[in-house]
Amino acid sequence: MTLFSLFTNTHSDLFSDRKVIIEKHWHELIPRRVVDFFNDQVSRAMADGEDVTREDVLPIISSPKYQLINVYRDGLTYLSPVTKEVDPMMVFEFLHRIPDIMQEYFGQVSETVIKENFVTVYQLLEEMMDDGFPLTTEPNALKEIVPAPNILNKVITTMGATTSVSTRKMPHGMSNLPWRKAGVKYTSNEIFFDIVEEIDAIVDSTGKAVSCEAHGAIQTNSRLSGMPDLTLSFVNPRLVDDCSFHQSVRFNKWESDKVLSFVPPDGHFRLMSYRVNLPSQQNLPIQVKPSINIGANGAKFDITVSLRNTDGKPVENTVLTLPLHKSTTTLTAHCNVGQYMFDPVGKVLRWDIGKIVPRERAPVLSGSFGFGSSSEAAGNAGYNIGVEFLINSHSLSGLKVDVLKLFNESYKPYKGVRTMTKAGRYQVRA
Amino acid sequence: MSDAKFFQRGKIQELRLELNSDKKDRNYTRKKQTLKKIVANMTMGNDMSSLHPDVIACMSIPVLEVKKMVYLFLINYAKAKPEMAYEAIQTFRRDVEDPNPLIRALAIRTMGYIHVDKVTSCLIQPLRHCMRDQDPYVRKTAAVCVAKLFMQDRHLVENAGFIDLLREMLVDSNPSVVANAVAALTEISERSDHIQLQLNMSIASKLVTALNECSEWGQTYILESLMFVVPQEPGDAEMLAERIAPRLQHANSAVVLTAVKVIVYLMNYMSREEDILSMCKKLSPPLVTLLSSGPEVQYVGLRNILLVIQKHPEILKNDIKIFFCKYNDPIYVKMAKLEIMFRLASEHNVEQVLSELKEYATEVDVDFVRKAVRSIGRLAVKIESTAQRCVEALLELIQTKVNYVVQESIVVIKDIFRKYPNQYESIIGVLCENLDNLDEPEAKAAMIWIIGQYADRIENSDELLDDFLYTFLEETVEVQLALLTATVKLFIKRPTAGQDLVPKVLKWATEEVDNPDLRDRGYIYWRLLSTDVAAAKAVVLSEKPHISTETDNMDPVLLEELLLHIASLSAIYHKAPTTFIPHCKPRFLIPSPALRRQNYNVGRTLQHQDSYSSLHNSSSAQFHQSQSNVRSSQSDGDDGNGGLDEFVSSPKQPQHQRLSYHEQSFEQVAEASIGNQEYYEQKINAENPYRTDTGAVGGSQANKGGGVDLMSFDL
């Protein structure tokens, strides 16, 4: 259940320059040697095969004395060595919270950002965990204990006018609603809901979905004063199932009335996430038809993209990526829409189509590629096309917000709802 | 203002001067800057400890930020320089009385980190106060501090009444305090030799109420503590499971998985099948949701799912599609998914599974491809109706001539031949085309086995074997054994074809090889063949025992243990925690009148016990005695299952027993019952070690009113 130490180190494929940026121990000192051991294991795993990337390294590595639990995000590794039986899910959740919170505080997460704000980072880590027990991880509550480095604070520190502790009122997450701070005030009250649905799918070369699922999330940005008590209802709540909620949502209300009743935290948060089971391929908004004919020395291919169920909306930011076999050396192609690029080092063909408007000509990419040396493995390898796209003002599930009611406060907030469908882990087998 | 500049290596002398500068320092801005530099240097690993008198002097500055940095400095160096900590004690004492609760909490938290005896003894009194502080933030910090203190000095915590204070906190009005108290108690219980947390229904029910209001981490602590509830009636288990089921829809995956663990545990105490089924239905969707998270969470989810579905196959049985692999899944996720796909494969979905596996066999990652090929073979063995199609798929893969695919295919085809004798010999011809490419011992041995087994159907089986025999002395033992047996089979089936080869092989096996297994087998064959050919035939060509994929199932006793550790490391490694975590307390299902009988296959369980005892050689004589007891009760045929239950629930180390005590003085507060060593030793002597059932019933009844709900038992 407990995590005792944390090392954050950089990771770079090009240089073997992996240094520790943050080192924090909540219990006893764990020697830095353990980081060397870890880096060793990572290098070894990655030397295993040419296709093994940093992402393929196991998130839990056993060492003689420690179990090395690690998360790799944005080029940084968050490493926590543990010696006893722990709940790794909890450690992962916690490790992910660290960059989440840093993002919230500093706007981005990188080695430079951490170094620029390291005193704040250490203060945060100190508050986020005590002796291995996660303590305060709600951004709202944390911001009351550790002030975010905003312009005002900077001015105050440069002017030398500091707020003394004793004048500050009792804060920190011990209110009845641990996720909301007291005394929030805005001149214009507004709340925005983004309903984002992502499609995870495996589609075979005939266009049939082998497996297909959609996950939705309602990302919320609340800028409301005081203690607003909200009720959000949907036109068709039964379209979603298997929901999980932000802790502010009253679960019983959902069970009985299918409405979301909650007092929101201040700022950005994920109100709810859910799953939409798609009955058939008819619901897929886009169809990618690849054909790849492989010979001994290379292959001819063409890929056609067409729109299907988009309610007449255009599909935007469409990008197809086709990883080719490692022995591929040459590629020539032609496309009628967008532009393509072949990365001869990573052996990836990337076709940037951009916007596809319904009833306009279907984008086609055709061409051929050649293997440097003819090999049986290359001839038999399977091909997969990764698909990215996004459709604005469209929700795959059809989920629609009905009304948002506000209680406990008298102002009339501005309410905004946007929907968006995009590709998640979406791939087509060729 | 950027902090990066503080990373410049500051010279100690300069820093000291800055810290002690007489210049006007309004609001301590200058001091703060200097301290930041010192802390920055410290984190870079530069030794700043010689600055300690100057830093400690800053402790009296009433600015929280300054205090935090000084405390950070102290924690870092106190172990190396205990005298530094002594100097700070006075200020500590002042700070724990500060009117600002933040400062009180900070002081108590910092003191807990400083593992210096003198500081620890100064901590006792203030800590007691803080546990009853009027501010909940201080109380919750103090609760964790007790767990910290326990790591340093167990006796101190046990003897200074801290456990009772923690127990009082379980009914605190603030849910965060309750959660931290429960976390501290659980922690202490897991670490202590003679303190064992046990919760009765009434306190469990209070904790579940607090669940709704506390933070996500608090929810995990509370859920985890529910593993220490032993339901006495099936209704209790159902009620509790029903009440925590909403946690399955939490956004935090740790909360979800811990809730899964508790529900799976409680299902052991439910009586009605329909309740269990309805719980199973509730467990599927949250497990599916875990798979839409990041790869680490997916991985943990997958490893746990693999355990859960072995115990409750109804869970996820219609969700196989979500386990289909994406080409860009990390390799460890793919491997874990593949195992689950194999388990969930059934008559209904085998078509899809097979076509997926064929797809995977064309991917680039060698390990994954091998596992996919192997799974095709296992699928054929598992589901008879699909065997034909699996064999065809394997033949197609062999045609690709990709070396490792061919070898892996041959290894599994051997299993298919064993499972379905004389059905697929027609493909032997295709296999034989690839003989020259075999270079892995396992594939070679498999091919040789096939040749020997079908020596009479393969026209040139003698030539094929002769080719292999050419390198007999260089082969691995595995291949040598296969060659020896295959040659003998050939000789028995076709004496004329084998008569030249057999003497050669027998001579090599018995005279030129050092391996005793090989030599012994050689001698046995030699003697059999030279004394009684009919007997040799009966032995060598005897009917082979059936193989099935049952052998892939995890040992039920281990599975049961791992299910109590869902969401933990052992559930990921699929190893009992006692085998890789030092000083780990084993968990087991505690008998109660509500506990369901486990339907284990007796033979398998006994077999497991042997390996168990060898795993735990250090365990006491009592343990072995318990084994023999189980055996005899089974062989007598009287209540064999009862014996097994006891075995399953037997702790491996005698000091971990639970104990019962009936002190009614705890009536008001002692809902979490914890005992001490002296008491429990007396108790054990008084109890018949195998009377657990009656003991439990009696205990629970006797204690119902008192809120103390305990029982005792021994191995």
* DSSP states along B610-622: HHHHHHTTTS-HH
Which band of pLDDT confidence, cut at 50, 70 and 90, is reported for residue A162?
A: very low
Residue A2 reports pLDDT greater than 50: no
Q: What mean pLDDT do residues A60-77 have?
A: 85
Q: How far apart are CA A90 and CA B258, in angstroms?
A: 9
Q: Give the per-residue pLDDT at B345.
A: 92
Chain A residues closer than 8 Å to B187 by CB: 1-2
B400 reaches A (C-beta below 8 A): yes
Residue B650 reports pLDDT greater than 50: no
Chain A residues closer than 8 Å to B286 by CB: 242, 244
* Residue contact B135–A174, C-beta within 8 A: yes
Tell me the backbone φ, ψ of residue B157, rounded to 5 degrees. Answer: -65, -40
Give whole-number Cα distances, A203 to B173, B325, B356, B534, in Å. 54, 12, 12, 59
More confident residue, B637 or B581: B581
Give the residue on A whose Cα is nearest the Cα of B324. A211
Of A56, A92, A210, the CB nearest to B300: A92
Mutate to test the interface with A, among B59, B177, B209, B569 (most CBs of A within 10 A): B569
Give residue-wise pLDDT tens across range B200-222: 898 999 999 888 888 888 999 99
Residue B665 reports pLDDT greater than 60: no
* Residue contact B581–A245, C-beta within 8 A: no
Of B3, B145, B148, the CB nearest to A118: B3
Give the residue on A whose Cα is nearest the Cα of B32. A157
| CB distance A370 to A300 below 8 Å | no
Interface of A with B in 315-334 (CB under 8 A): 323, 325-326
Give residue-wise pLDDT tens across range A301-323: 999 998 887 788 899 999 999 98
A64 reaches B (C-beta below 8 A): no
More confident residue, B675 or B267: B267
Q: Give the per-residue pLDDT at A218.
A: 94
* DSSP states along B221-289: HHHHHGGGB--SSHHHHHHHHHHHGGGGGBSSHHHHHHHHHHHHHHHTT---HHHHHHHHHHHHHHHHH
B404 reaches A (C-beta below 8 A): no
Mutate to test the interface with A, among B41, B216, B400 (most CBs of A within 10 A): B216
B384 reaches A (C-beta below 8 A): no
Residue B487 reports pLDDT greater than 50: yes
Chain A residues closer than 8 Å to B322 by CB: 211, 213
Q: Of A111, A373, A60, which is closest to residue B304 (Cα–Cα)? A: A60
Residue B108 reports pLDDT greater than 80: yes
Q: Is B476 exposed, middle or buried (0-12, 13-18, 19+ CB in 10 A)?
A: middle
Chain B residues closer than 8 Å to A173 by CB: 176, 215
Residue A263 reports pLDDT greater than 50: yes
A112 reaches B (C-beta below 8 A): yes
Share of chain A above pLDDT 90, in %: 23
* Residue contact B147–A51, C-beta within 8 A: no
* Residue contact B254–A93, C-beta within 8 A: yes
* Residue contact A174–B3, C-beta within 8 A: no
Chain A residues closer than 8 Å to B569 by CB: 60, 67, 82, 85-86, 88
Give residue-wise pLDDT tens across range B434-444: 888 888 999 99
B322 reaches A (C-beta below 8 A): yes
| CB distance A233 to A269 below 8 Å | no
Helices (H), B514-651: 516-531, 533-540, 556-563, 569-573, 602-615, 621-635, 640-649
* Residue contact B216–A380, C-beta within 8 A: no
Compute the residue count for chain B: 715
Q: What mean pLDDT do residues A321-328 have?
A: 86
* Residue contact A162–B29, C-beta within 8 A: yes
* Residue contact A210–B356, C-beta within 8 A: yes
More confident residue, A421 or B45: A421
- Mean predicted lDDT score pLDDT of chain B: 78
Tokens 């000509």 locate to: A361
Q: What mean pLDDT do residues B418-424 have?
A: 87
DSSP code of A374? Answer: -
Interface of A with B in 176-235 (CB under 8 A): 176, 178, 200, 202, 210-211, 213, 215
* Residue contact B215–A138, C-beta within 8 A: yes
Which band of pLDDT confidence, cut at 50, 70 and 90, is reported for residue B680?
A: very low
B77 reaches A (C-beta below 8 A): no
- Those residues whose C-beta lies under 8 Å from the C-beta of residue A241, and which sit 6 or more positions away, are A274, A275, A276, A277, B285
Of A165, A174, A215, the CB nearest to B64: A165
Q: Which range is most confident: B209-218, B274-283, B419-428?
A: B274-283
Among A8-22, A362-376, B296-310, B606-620, the range scoring the smallest mean pLDDT is: B606-620
Tokens 């250090």 locate to: B618
Q: How far apart are CA B566 and CA A87, in angstroms?
A: 8
Tell me the backbone φ, ψ of residue A351, rounded to 5 degrees. Answer: -115, 110
More confident residue, B698 or B556: B556
C-alpha radius of gyration, chain B, whole number: 33
Give residue-wise pLDDT tens across range B347-384: 999 999 999 999 999 888 888 999 999 999 999 999 99
Residue B648 reports pLDDT greater than 50: no
Interface of B with A in 647-706 (CB under 8 A): none
Nearest-10 Cα torsion for A89, A91, A92, A94: 120
C-alpha radius of gyration, chain A, whole number: 25
Residue B552 reports pLDDT greater than 80: no
Q: Give the per-residue pLDDT at B585.
A: 81
Q: How far apart are CA A6 and CA A8, in angstroms?
A: 7
Of B99, B321, B364, the CB nearest to A381: B364
Of B3, B147, B289, the CB nearest to A115: B3
Q: Of B56, B90, B93, which is closest to residue B71 (Cα–Cα)? A: B56
Mutate to test the interface with B, among A244, A258, A260 (most CBs of B within 10 A): A244
Give residue-wise pLDDT tens across range B111-145: 888 877 777 888 888 899 999 999 988 998 999 99
Q: Give the per-residue pLDDT at A386.
A: 93
Chain A residues closer than 8 Å to B40 by CB: 118-119
Among A64-78, B32-46, B276-290, the range scoring the smallest mean pLDDT is: B32-46
| CB distance B275 to B238 below 8 Å | yes
Residue B621 reports pLDDT greater than 60: no
Residue B608 reports pLDDT greater than 50: no
| CB distance B576 to B215 below 8 Å | no
Of A85, A87, A119, the CB nearest to B584: A85
- Mean predicted lDDT score pLDDT of chain A: 81
Residue B666 reports pLDDT greater than 60: no
Q: How far apart are CA A370 and CA A329, in angstroms?
A: 6
Among A302-306, B15-19, B568-572, the range scoring the smallest mean pLDDT is: B15-19
Q: Specify the 3-state DSSP secondary structure of B377.
A: helix
Q: Specify the 3-state DSSP secondary structure of A105.
A: helix
Which band of pLDDT confidence, cut at 50, 70 and 90, is reported for residue B601?
A: very low
Q: How far apart are CA B125 and CA B148, in angstroms?
A: 15
What's the gap between Cα A170 and its chain centre?
34
Q: How far apart are CA B536 and CA B533, in angstroms?
A: 5
The two counts, helices (H) then strands (E), for chain A are 8, 23
A-B Cβ pairs (cutoff 8 Å, strict): 256
A175 reaches B (C-beta below 8 A): no
Give residue-wise pLDDT tens across range B434-486: 888 888 999 999 999 999 999 888 888 888 899 889 889 899 999 999 999 99
Q: How far apart are CA B130 and CA B128, in angstroms?
A: 5
Amino acid type, A387: V
pTM for this entry = 0.81
Among A149-153, B222-226, B331-335, B641-645, the range scoring the smallest mean pLDDT is: B641-645
Dihedral over Cα of B268, B272, B277, B282: its sign: negative
Residue A77 reports pLDDT greater than 60: yes
* Residue contact B62–A154, C-beta within 8 A: no
Of A28, A89, A326, the CB nearest to B253: A89
Which band of pLDDT confidence, cut at 50, 70 and 90, is reported for residue A39?
A: confident
For residue B327, the tally of other CB atoms under 10 A from its CB is 20
Q: How far apart are CA B574 and CA B567, in angstroms?
A: 11
Q: What mean pLDDT do residues B412-430 have?
A: 88
Chain B residues closer than 8 Å to A71 by CB: 296
